[in-house]
Structure 1
Amino acid sequence: MCDVAGSIGSVVSPVLEVGKWLVVPISHQFKYLFNYNTNFKNLEKEVKKLKNTKEEVHDQVDAAERNLGKIKQNVKDWQNDVEKAITKVEQLIQEKADNQRYSKGLCCNFIIHYKHSKKAFKLKRDNVDPLLQQGKELGPVSSRTNPLLEIWLRSSEDYLAFESRNSTMKNVWDALIDENVFMTGVYGMGGIGKTTLVQELGRKAKMDQLFEDIVFAEVSESPDIKKIQTAIADNLGLKFENESERAKALYSRMEGKNILLILDNIWEPLEFDKTIGIPCETDRGRNKLLFTARNLDVLERMGSTNNFGMDILNEEEAWTLFAKMAGNCVIEFSFVCFLNQHILILFFNYLMCFDVNIKISN
C-alpha cells in the first residue's frame, strides 16, 4: 500500500511542479488583459511628461543655437529617439480608438485588448521611462560656441574680376593647391587691391572646402603680437587660459592641421613659431600661409619664395572701380567729367598709391 502511494506521489509531484511553472506565465499574460485600461493610462501619463521634457530641451537647444552654440550629439540623438517613441505611442493610442469604434465580437476584442495592453506596457517600460530618465541627465545641451564666420568670407560684393588681376589670381591659387608650397606672398604699392584679392582667394578656398579653417589677421605697420594672436585664436575657437603661454596654445591648436592663415599688410619680417605660435617646418601639416606686403624683400626675408606682384589698374579698370565706389552719383558726375576722364583715372590711381579711402556721398 505504501509502495502504491509512493508511486502515485512520485508521479503527481512533477505534474504539480509543471503546473506551477505554467500558471505563472499564464497569469502573467492575463495581467495584460486585466490591466488594459491601467496600462494605457500609465502610458499616456508618462508620455505627457516626456512631451513636456522634450519641449524644455527644445527651448534650451533653440536658445543655444541663437547664441551660436554647438549642440551636443547625445542631445540630438535623444531628441530623435523621443520623436520616434512619441510617434509609436500615438499610433498605438489611435489603434485603440479605432478598435473601440469598429469592434467585432467579444473574442476578437479580448485578443486585440491583450495585444494593445502588452504593447502599451512595453512601450512605457522600454521606451518612454528610459527616455524620461535620460532627459533628466542630459545636462547642458551645447558644448561650446562655434567660431563666427568672418563677414568677408560670406560676401564677395567688393571684388571685381579685372583682367589685369587674373594672372596674379591664378598664380596664387595654383600655389595654394600645391602641397609643396607653404608660404605665398602678394606684393605691391599700398591701396592697389592686395587685401581684396587675397580675401577673394580665401572665399574661393572656403567654397571649394580646400581647408578646415580660413583665418585672416591684419599685421599693420606697428604689429601688435597679442592682437594678431587673438584674431587667429578667435577664428579657430581657441580661448587662451594662460596669457604667458599664448604662443604655445596657438601652436598646439594649429600643429599638423589644414588651415589657411592670411596675414595682411606686413611691413617687417615676422617670427612665426616662437613669437606668434604659427607652426612651421615639419609641424605645419597641411597649413598654408598667405601674405600681403608692399615690398618683395619683406616676403623673401620671411622665407616666402612664391611671390607675385600687382601693378596699378589700367584706365578702363580704374574707371570701373571708381564708378562702383561712387555709386549712383557717378552718372551725373561722369557726364561733367567726361572730357577729363583720363585726368580723373590718373588721380584715382595716384590716391590708391597712398592708401586713401575714397568715399563719395550722394
Structure 2
Amino acid sequence: MEAIGTGAAANVCSEAAKGIFHQVKRHIRYVIFYQKIVDKFEQKHGTLIAKRTSVQQDVDVAERNGEKIKADVLDWRHRVEKVVTEKEKKVKDLEVKAKTKCFFGLCPNIKSRYQLSRKAEEAAATFDELIKDCQFERVGYPDVPEPVVHTDFEAFKSREEVFNDIMESLKDATTSMIGVYGMAGVGKTSLVNEVERQLHEVEVKLFDSVVRATVSRIPVIKEIQDQIAYSLGLKLEENSLVVRARRLCERLRKEKNVLIILDDLWKKLDLEEVGIPFGSRHKGCKILLTSRDQNVLSNGMDATKTFAIGDLENEEAWKFFRKMAGDSFESDEELQSTAIR
C-alpha cells in the first residue's frame, strides 16, 4: 500500500512538474522569440489597415450611389477603429521600453521585451479575428424611398363601393389582375392612389411591397422599368431592355407578395417585356390596372375582374365644385350662376 501511495504521489508530482515546465516554456518564448512575435504583430496590423482602407473605399462608392451602409459593416469599422487605436498605443509604448538596455547598456531589458511580446501576440490574434470577419460581398444596400402618400381622394358614396370592391378583390387569392376603367377625369388615378395609401397604413400587410408606374398613351418600356425599380430601391444601369427585364423580374420574385399598379393603359402591355413576373412565374404577384377602355383590361390584359367608375352624381359634383372653388364661390354671384347652369 505504501508503494502504491508513493507511486501515486510521484505521478502527481510528475504531472505538476510538467505543468510548471510548460508554463515556464511559454513565458520564456516571449523573450526568446521577441522579434518574431513583434514582426507578426506588424504584419497583421498592416493587413488589417489595408482591409480597413478597402472597406472604406467600398463605403464611399456605396454612399455616392445613394445606398445605406449595412449594420455589420458599420459594426466592423467601429471595432477596428477601437482595437487599432488601443492596441497600437499599448504596443508602441512597450516597444520604446523594450529598446532600452539595462545594466548600463550591457544587456536587453528582459521584462519590457516579455511584456511587449505578450501584448503584441494578443494584439495580433485580435487583428486576425477582425481580418477573418471582413467578408462582405456588399457594404451597402439600396435606400428604398418612402411611399408617397396621396391625399386627393374624395370619399364620395359612388366611389366607396368601387373602392371596397377593389380592396376585397386584392384579398381574394383567386383574383390576380384587377382593372378600373372610366372616362378621362373621373378619378381613376385618385382611386388607386387611395388604395395604395391604405395598403401602406393597414396593420396587417397584404403585400410586402406596393410599386407603381404610369404607362401613358405611348408606353416607353425603359421608363416603366425605371419607375418600378425606383419603388424597389433597385438601380437598372444596363442599356439592354432584355437584361433590365431579367434583373427586374429577379428582384420582384424576391417579394413574397407584391402589388404592381399600372396606371393609364391605352393598349395591351407586354408584362414579360417589362420584366413583371406574373401568373405561374410568381404566384404572389397581383396587378392593379387603370384604363379608359374596358376592352383593354378585359381582352388585352385578361383582367380577372374589372370595375367601372362613372360620373359623379349631381349632389356629389356640386359638393366637389364648391370645394375646388373655395371661398371665392360664396362671394362671386356670377360664378354661382355659371356653376348652377
Q: Pick from 212, 215, 218: which aligns with 2:214?
A: 218
Q: Pick from 276, 280, 283: which aligns with 1:282?
A: 280
Q: What 5-or-longer segments of structure 2 have no aligned partner?
A: 1-12, 32-36, 91-114
Q: Show the counterpart of 1:308.
A: 307
Q: Show the counterpart of 1:202.
A: 196
Shift of 1:197: 1.7
Q: For the Cα contact (< 8 Å) 1:175–1:181, is it kept in 2?
A: yes
Q: For the Cα contact (< 8 Å) 1:217–1:262, is it kept in 2?
A: yes
Amino acid at match of 2:163: M
Shift of 1:188: 1.4
> Which deviates the most, 64-73 or 299-308?
64-73
Q: For the Cα contact (< 8 Å) 1:162–1:317, is it kept in 2?
A: no
1:105-128 CA distance string (max 9 Å, x none):
xxxxxxxxxxx9999567524324
Q: Show the counterpart of 1:322.
A: 324
Shift of 1:221: 2.0
TM-score by length of 2: 0.64
Shift of 1:319: 2.8
Looking at structure 1, the residues matched to 137 and 284 of structure 2 have their Cα atoms a distance apart, in angstroms, of 37
Q: Show the counterpart of 2:296.
A: 298
Change beyond 3 A, Cα 1:21–1:305: closer
Shift of 1:262: 1.0
Question: Which structure: greater helix fraction?
Answer: 1
Q: Show the counterpart of 2:179.
A: 185
Q: Pick from 324, 327, 331: which aligns with 1:336?
A: 331
1:175-224 CA distance string (max 9 Å, x none):
11222110111111112221122122223223444323322122222223
Shift of 1:270: 3.0
Looking at structure 2, the residues matched to 310 and 342 of structure 1 have their Cα atoms a distance apart, in angstroms, of 28
Looking at structure 1, the residues matched to 292 and 251 of structure 2 have their Cα atoms a distance apart, in angstroms, of 30
Q: Show the counterpart of 1:166.
A: 160
Looking at structure 1, the residues matched to 166 and 194 of structure 2 have their Cα atoms a distance apart, in angstroms, of 11
> Which deviates the most, 116-125 or 264-273?
116-125
Looking at structure 2, the residues matched to 146 and 60 of structure 1 have their Cα atoms a distance apart, in angstroms, of 14
Change beyond 3 A, Cα 1:316–1:267: same
Q: For the Cα contact (< 8 Å) 1:69–1:146, is it kept in 2?
A: yes
Secondary structure, aligned partner of 2:197:
helix
Q: For the Cα contact (< 8 Å) 2:178–2:289, is it kept in 1?
A: yes
In the TM superposition, what are the counterparts of 1:1-362 in structure 2 within 5 Å?
A: 22-26=20-24, 28-29=26-27, 61=59, 64-65=62-63, 67-72=65-70, 74-79=72-77, 81-82=79-80, 123-131=122-130, 141-142=139-140, 146=142, 148-149=144-145, 153-208=147-202, 209-236=205-232, 237=234, 238-240=236-238, 242-244=240-242, 246-255=244-253, 257=255, 258-273=257-272, 275-301=273-299, 302-313=301-312, 314-319=316-321, 321-323=323-325, 330-331=326-327, 333-337=328-332, 340-341=335-336, 343-344=338-339
Shift of 1:63: 6.9
1:143-163 CA distance string (max 9 Å, x none):
xx62653x7x23324344444
Looking at structure 1, the residues matched to 78 and 143 of structure 2 have their Cα atoms a distance apart, in angstroms, of 26
Q: Show the counterpart of 1:111.
A: none
Looking at structure 1, the residues matched to 62 and 170 of structure 2 have their Cα atoms a distance apart, in angstroms, of 36
Amino acid at match of 1:220: S
Q: For the Cα contact (< 8 Å) 1:185–1:299, is it kept in 2?
A: yes
Q: For the Cα contact (< 8 Å) 1:65–1:71, is it kept in 2?
A: yes
Q: For the Cα contact (< 8 Å) 1:256–1:283, is it kept in 2?
A: no
Secondary structure, aligned partner of 2:175:
coil
1:51-78 CA distance string (max 9 Å, x none):
9987996796477346421435652452
Looking at structure 2, the residues matched to 50 and 166 of structure 1 have their Cα atoms a distance apart, in angstroms, of 62
Looking at structure 2, the residues matched to 172 and 341 of structure 1 have their Cα atoms a distance apart, in angstroms, of 36
1:65-94 CA distance string (max 9 Å, x none):
4642143565245236447858997xx9xx
Looking at structure 1, the residues matched to 317 and 59 of structure 2 have their Cα atoms a distance apart, in angstroms, of 55
Change beyond 3 A, Cα 1:52–1:155: farther
Looking at structure 1, the residues matched to 61 and 81 of structure 2 have their Cα atoms a distance apart, in angstroms, of 20
Shift of 1:292: 0.6
Q: For the Cα contact (< 8 Å) 2:279–2:285, is it kept in 1?
A: no
Change beyond 3 A, Cα 1:320–1:182: farther
User: How many pairs are equivalent?
Assistant: 297
Looking at structure 2, the residues matched to 24 and 122 of structure 1 have their Cα atoms a distance apart, in angstroms, of 18
Identity of aligned residues (%): 31
Change beyond 3 A, Cα 1:297–1:341: farther
Q: CA RMSD in A?
A: 4.9
Change beyond 3 A, Cα 1:239–1:321: farther
